[in-house]
Structure 1
Amino acid sequence: MDTASDRTPDRPGLDRRTLLRGGAAAGLGAVVTTTTVLATSPEAASYDAGPEPSPPELILTKFRDRLPVPPVLRPKQRDRHDELTVRLRTADVTVHSQLPRVRMWTYEGSYPGPTIETTAGRPLRVAWENGLTGEIPVKAVDFGLATGPSPDPLTNYPGTAGCQEVAGVSGLGPWAVVHLHGMLTGGGNDGWMENLLAPGDVQLSAYPNRDAATLWYHDHTHHVSRFSVYAGMAGLFLARGGRERDLGLPAGEHEVPLVLSDRNFDLDASGAPAGRLVHKVEMVGAQRLMRVHAAPYTLVNGVVWPYLEVRPRWYRFRVVNTANSRIYRLMLLADGVPVRGAFQVIGTDQGLTDRPRQVEGALNLSPGERADVLVDFGEFRGRTLKLVNTIDGVTPGGSSRRDDMLEPDVMQFRVADRRPNTGFTLPKTVEPAFRRLGTDDLPRERPPRWIALVGPGTQNMPELWEMEELAESEAQGLDLPAEGIVQVRDEHGALTTLRRTAMAYDDGNTVRAAHQDLEVWKYLNLAASPHPMHIHLAHFQVLSRALYDVTGFDRKVRGSARPIAFKETAELEAHEIGEKDVIRVGTAGRITAGPNGTPGELVTVAVRFPVLGRGVHHCHMLEHEQHMVRPLVVGPADGAQHEGHSGMHH
């Protein structure tokens, strides 16, 4: 097998020969449109700021490089479907002008991969060709203190000093499997995480592509995705159609994708950043519990802290959080002050919503979540604004070393000093066909499905528990606390007793749902850490979010000593109103110190299952994905009798 050092990788970018070739194995072709690689510069530009220094330890200059727009890849039309070939390949990619080119595993040689742009309603067939070479271009290290977490962890800084290398990562070969995240397609095309694609092989996937939405594609190799996605295997997917054209939304250069991620880099012998990816985590305490990954450099569209020149007018941004584990809590600042109501959300994970919703405070996007937002720069002609990441309790724009946020800036907007364009008016209605589900829409003949999210157990890792409700007669004889038994008291005082049925990936008792069914899932977070939960083969609406007192949960016994009790209802955020496939369960802000100091959360969703097959449901923090994952099977409703389940419930 070739190694990264004995073969020159393909250069980044999409050359005409690559894009127009036919896939020999699949008989599929690819077509690219002529695109602007960098966002167009407004005329008569004049700004009050330019590049800025980052903290000295991070070395690189902020806002030195212009925001790139990923190249666009469009499929070739056939009679009844469209076709596309996408090649996975190793490439050296520029992520900052002061940094050597970075070796990555990519789609078509760029990071992020090309934006695949399709027409909703046109079925799509994709041949994903594995042309990767060499071993994974990521150095994985960890560190930690036996006394507990550091107030200034090494994750804030580049390099590997004070760390030890994680065994078994450096030799990982170029195996892959592509998951088109959010696409409602059958299990055979979903990118099952164990259907590995060897170098030279082709993954053939058919996507119904029915609805207009902002999706993304990424590697989903079982147990390895935290390293393979970090190596560069992610890209944006847009299905256009529906109401978009009728609304006259900002388009062309005024519609910009913002693909967010974070990375860290090694240092060379002189102490300068080298073009080598470093995946660095903190192992906390004597038990060496892993804190989820966080890196000091934020990338937008594959560039560290870029700037974008804009005109004083409305823009449309497709914002996607592709980071391994970092939650981006985004605010727009002008002169260091948050711009109130800067973001108008018109779409969520699975498409447009009924009307624009103004974001109050920060736009919280956990890994895997997307938001379709409109921003008006009309009042800021000739000025410079910043998009920043924030932490609850820290002044917006301020840093917090203990929260892995040495540098809060994400990117800079430079607004041209010219007359504002007033040709666009924010519509009152976006998608009239969208409807929020009500109580009358929900199933009443069976109980909800409960999923408990629990802190590290005997394996020093967080756990995902599938639960079942016990009848009152079964619950009466229990001696509490008992392992795997959780009691919950809701806002009406009703007590529900839950028993764990499965938690490990191969525990059996696979979740079985009926095709075209509607189920209610209740996610109960008993831990301090938030978890973004993702369901394959499905989409859902978030019905409610509520805070619960979880101090009654005994972490040693791993059961509740007294009921987990309702405290108060929490508001859904603007980007949580529409159709979704990822939902954050738990706080997006600061985690309160002390055992069980952070209130738990109960998030209730109504899940639809429009496609058939085998999939999974899991936490989309990639450092958790390997152990907070369970299989899911969607089958015909009339097959329930053969499974021995009622309604295909476990």
Structure 2
Amino acid sequence: MMGPNHEFYNRRTRSTRFNAAVIMSTSWSCLDCLRLILVTSCLVAFCWELPSGVEAEDSFCQALTPSPTLTQFVDKLPIPYQIPVNTTEISIGAWKIKQKLHRDLPPTTLYAYGESQETARFPGPTFEATLDVKARIHWENHIPDNKHFLPVDTSINWAHPKHGGVPTVVHLHGAETESIYDGHPDAWWTPKGEHGYTYVTQHYSYPNSQRPALLWYHDHVVGITRLNVLAGLAGLYFVRSPKDKLTKLFPYGEYEIPFVLRDLQFWANGSINFPNIGDNATIHPTWCPEYFGDTILVNGKAWPYLEVYPRVYRLRLLNAANARFFNLSLSEPSLRFHKIGTDGGYLETKPQILKSLLVAPAERLDLLIDFSKLKPGDVVYVNNSAPAPFPDGTDSFSPPQTRSVLKFQVTAWPNSRQARGRPSNSDLRNALQYVESARTVQKIKYTNALHRYLRLQEFDDANGNPIVSLIENRTWRDPVVDFPREGAVEVWEWINTTPDAHPIHVHLIQFKVLNLQPFDENGYLNGSCNIEVGFSKPGTCFTGPPLPPKIYHTGFKDTAIVWPNFVTRYGIRFQTSDGRRFPFDPTLGPGYVFHCHILDHEDNDMMRPYKLIH
């Protein structure tokens, strides 16, 4: 796979690190100037609330003070508690809590979902939904803060409640649902009763009429999604079918393990270290192009361990990081990941047997790992080799500790279970053979499909520091220009002219990555060649033929990696993922959105609305 424009990207990262180094080594008078900017900004609501007992300290974009040294693999992996959801409405609130994220770290201030403040945790409760059975959730906001405990940058589009408070709105990521329940970025609410202009209700209804899959829910407020998700407002949501024979053929119950990955950076008192000085503080006082932490968390614990029996386990994995990609591998050479599903459910191809897994922010993976040939006492580490920013980052954003994720500790079967032997659902070969024989392939024709061309753009200051990212040179507030027809088949061609790989997410639907094709970025930008000439007639900017989807592109997706210097083509059918009509009218309400799921990009205008029509 061809990488990004290396010269441009390295210039950008050198520039960013140089600027931060200059700031930290300059005279106090210069620092006083920066502080004056921040203090002045606070007068117009650029300020934020620090957790109790925290003293204000400057934190520079992409040059954060390292976290305190923490011993890895001393905390047991927690499993979020489960809540069944159906037509009986339940109430789930966003709360301010304290949570221990490592044995040796003081409790961390978070915002988190739960039925009460006492049960609220990060990740939030795991919802168990049933195929074709509606789920009803009343989402509430009980956050007491008048201002966010992380720095809000009001120089970018954001909710800006006039009476204060922390706005929230919930997006069920991957769900096929009415737009009034989709968590539209301007449908937020606060505990003080203030609402965004697309707000309709907090009583959400999810039809669960799509293919069984792992979804996830997270906050989606315009301009502060990166803050609210980083603060802890996220959790898992399973859609399961009672007719799915694989549910019992594969490992289930205690042998089906959710893995929610993310990264954070901490101060010594346990609070989150988040930049309060941006790359270009005169334009965006606190906004930073990407947030990278030096501490890896799984299910809300830093570098935990999990005891496993010598059998097959099923792992349901989510990358919930703001910007960090993960490339996961296992330290035991004999082990492999058996990938059986992705964002939209089971693969339509045979299971993929892989040594490594690349997973971008918001992507999910359905995996099997067979520990049956290992013996008690054996240890297997999950490692990470993805650079940050991806794909061509630097060591400064990926210190050595970010290479470690989790430890599996193989333990002996208890005597009561040894007598029964291994459960039948641990037979990996039979399970995989069943998947291959039972799979169905949906053939969708894209020959006469409408093509939409969508440029990803980054605009920098004179020093090469990013100041905004756009799609088709439009901001979030620009009028809607994309109106797909319900039931139509389209090809969306993402033309990436930036140095980053972007995980692009489209609300409401599942799509397939058709192919990707390299192009001459300089020629395209200066107008000496073209791309937008149709799916079957390559434009003069292309530098090679279309390439098949990469292994991490396969399956039904709602989020996929769009590489720099490539055109990546999504094949989209505006129906349910199993080919049916939506059980609701998708043309009603405020409509849907598509955006980059690097949340720092999304918050600074790399997000656009779209509306379906009949």
Fold match, TM over 0.5?
Answer: yes
CA deviations 1:491-530 (Å, max 9, x no partner) are xxxxxxxxxxx52223325210111222111112122101
Please state whether the residue corresponding to 2:348 is helix, strand or coil.
strand
Offset of 1:573 from its aligned partner? 3.9
| Structural mapping, 1:440-479, within 5 Å | 441-444=445-448, 447-457=450-460, 460-466=466-472
Which residue of the other structure, out of 370, 388, 391, is the alignment partner of 1:376? 370
CA deviations 1:167-205 (Å, max 9, x no partner) are x99x97321101111110011111111111121667111
- Give the Cα separation in 2 of the matches to 1:428 and 1:422: 18
Structure 1: 5+ residue stretches without partners? 8-54, 143-167, 267-272, 394-398, 467-501, 587-598, 637-650
Please state whether the residue corresponding to 1:228 is helix, strand or coil.
helix
TM-score under structure 1 length normalisation = 0.69
Please state whether the residue corresponding to 2:79 is helix, strand or coil.
coil
Q: 1:282 to 1:391 in 2, by over 3 A?
A: farther
Which residue of the other structure, out of 396, 410, 422, is the alignment partner of 1:402? 396
Please state whether the residue corresponding to 1:625 is helix, strand or coil.
helix
- Does residue 113 in structure 1 map to residue 124 in structure 2? yes
Please state whether the residue corresponding to 2:321 is helix, strand or coil.
coil
- Does residue 265 in structure 1 map to residue 266 in structure 2? yes
Q: Is the 8 A contact 2:594 2:607 kept in 1?
A: yes
Q: Is the 8 A contact 1:93 1:101 kept in 2?
A: yes
Please state whether the residue corresponding to 1:541 is helix, strand or coil.
strand
The answer to which of 576-585 and 375-384 deviates more is 375-384
- Give the Cα separation in 1 of the matches to 2:152 and 2:405: 25
Q: Is the 8 A contact 1:354 1:430 kept in 2?
A: no
Offset of 1:359 from its aligned partner? 4.5
- Give the Cα separation in 1 of the matches to 2:522 and 2:276: 28
Please state whether the residue corresponding to 1:552 is helix, strand or coil.
helix
- Give the Cα separation in 2 of the matches to 1:321 and 1:217: 12
Q: Which amino acid aligns with 1:231?
A: A
Q: Which amino acid aligns with 2:73?
A: F
1:243 corresponds in structure 2 to 244
- Give the Cα separation in 2 of the matches to 1:141 and 1:278: 14
- Does residue 579 in structure 1 map to residue 590 in structure 2? no
2:98 corresponds in structure 1 to 92
- Give the Cα separation in 2 of the matches to 1:285 and 1:198: 30
Q: Is the 8 A contact 1:141 1:280 kept in 2?
A: no
Offset of 1:464 from its aligned partner? 3.4
- Give the Cα separation in 1 of the matches to 2:292 and 2:353: 25
Offset of 1:120 from its aligned partner? 1.4
| Structural mapping, 1:416-427, within 5 Å | 416-417=411-412, 421=422, 423=424, 424-426=427-429, 427=432
- Does residue 320 in structure 1 map to residue 315 in structure 2? no
- Does residue 184 in structure 1 map to residue 176 in structure 2? yes
- Does residue 215 in structure 1 map to residue 208 in structure 2? no
Q: Is the 8 A contact 2:91 2:140 kept in 1?
A: yes
Q: 1:561 to 1:544 in 2, by over 3 A?
A: closer
Q: Is the 8 A contact 2:251 2:314 kept in 1?
A: yes
2:512 corresponds in structure 1 to 541
Q: Is the 8 A contact 2:280 2:467 kept in 1?
A: no
| Structural mapping, 1:58-457, within 5 Å | 58-75=68-85, 77=86, 81-108=87-114, 109-135=120-146, 138-140=149-151, 173-199=165-191, 203-211=202-210, 212-241=212-241, 242-245=243-246, 248-266=249-267, 273-280=268-275, 290-334=288-332, 342-381=336-375, 382-391=377-386, 401-407=395-401, 408-417=403-412, 421=422, 423=424, 424-426=427-429, 427-430=432-435, 432=438, 434-437=440-443, 441-444=445-448, 447-457=450-460
Please state whether the residue corresponding to 2:230 is helix, strand or coil.
coil
Cα RMSD for the two superposed structures: 3.3
Report the number of matched residues.
490
Q: Is the 8 A contact 1:213 1:350 kept in 2?
A: yes
Percent pairwise identity: 30
Which residue of the other structure, out of 555, 569, 584, is the alignment partner of 1:604? 569
Q: Is the 8 A contact 2:329 2:384 kept in 1?
A: yes
Please state whether the residue corresponding to 1:278 is helix, strand or coil.
coil
Offset of 1:542 from its aligned partner? 1.2
1:50 corresponds in structure 2 to none
Q: Is the 8 A contact 2:50 2:150 kept in 1?
A: no
Q: Is the 8 A contact 1:355 1:428 kept in 2?
A: no
1:633 corresponds in structure 2 to 611
1:490 corresponds in structure 2 to none
Offset of 1:141 from its aligned partner? 10
- Give the Cα separation in 1 of the matches to 2:264 and 2:608: 28
- Give the Cα separation in 1 of the matches to 2:147 and 2:433: 48
Q: Which amino acid aligns with 1:65?
A: D
The answer to which of 420-429 and 514-523 deviates more is 420-429
1:476 corresponds in structure 2 to none
Q: 1:6 to 1:306 in 2, by over 3 A?
A: closer
Q: 1:513 to 1:447 in 2, by over 3 A?
A: closer
- Give the Cα separation in 2 of the matches to 1:632 and 1:507: 11
Please state whether the residue corresponding to 2:103 is helix, strand or coil.
coil
Structure 2: 5+ residue stretches without partners? 1-47, 54-64, 115-119, 154-159, 194-200, 531-539, 576-581
- Give the Cα separation in 2 of the matches to 1:600 and 1:573: 15
- Give the Cα separation in 2 of the matches to 1:572 and 1:361: 18
Q: Is the 8 A contact 1:83 1:126 kept in 2?
A: yes
- Give the Cα separation in 1 of the matches to 2:277 and 2:365: 30
Q: 1:507 to 1:175 in 2, by over 3 A?
A: closer
Please state whether the residue corresponding to 1:461 is helix, strand or coil.
strand
- Give the Cα separation in 1 of the matches to 2:573 and 2:594: 13
Please state whether the residue corresponding to 2:257 is helix, strand or coil.
strand
- Give the Cα separation in 2 of the matches to 1:436 and 1:506: 37
Q: Is the 8 A contact 2:275 2:288 kept in 1?
A: no
Q: Is the 8 A contact 1:84 1:125 kept in 2?
A: yes
- Give the Cα separation in 1 of the matches to 2:358 and 2:558: 15
Give the number of the structure whose residues are more often helix, by fraction: 2
- Give the Cα separation in 1 of the matches to 2:189 and 2:280: 38
TM-score under structure 2 length normalisation = 0.73
Give the number of the structure whose residues are more often strand, by fraction: 1
Offset of 1:233 from its aligned partner? 0.4
Q: Which amino acid aligns with 1:567?
A: G
Offset of 1:571 from its aligned partner? 4.8
2:535 corresponds in structure 1 to none
Offset of 1:62 from its aligned partner? 0.3
Higher relative contact order (CA 8 A, sep 6+): 2
Q: Which amino acid aligns with 1:348?
A: T
Offset of 1:208 from its aligned partner? 0.9
- Give the Cα separation in 2 of the matches to 1:209 and 1:200: 31
Q: 1:293 to 1:416 in 2, by over 3 A?
A: same
CA deviations 1:443-475 (Å, max 9, x no partner) are 51x541111112325794353334xxxxxxxxx
Q: Which amino acid aligns with 1:63?
A: F
2:503 corresponds in structure 1 to 532
- Give the Cα separation in 1 of the matches to 2:385 and 2:491: 32
Offset of 1:218 from its aligned partner? 0.4
CA deviations 1:296-340 (Å, max 9, x no partner) are 111100111000000111100110011111111111112xxx556
Q: Is the 8 A contact 1:141 1:279 kept in 2?
A: no
Offset of 1:617 from its aligned partner? 0.7
Q: 1:624 to 1:245 in 2, by over 3 A?
A: same
Please state whether the residue corresponding to 1:380 is helix, strand or coil.
coil
Please state whether the residue corresponding to 2:361 is helix, strand or coil.
coil
Q: Is the 8 A contact 2:291 2:600 kept in 1?
A: yes
- Give the Cα separation in 1 of the matches to 2:380 and 2:229: 30
- Give the Cα separation in 2 of the matches to 1:400 and 1:244: 45
Please state whether the residue corresponding to 1:545 is helix, strand or coil.
strand
Please state whether the residue corresponding to 1:90 is helix, strand or coil.
strand
Offset of 1:264 from its aligned partner? 1.1
CA deviations 1:605-641 (Å, max 9, x no partner) are 11122351401111111000021111110122xxxxx
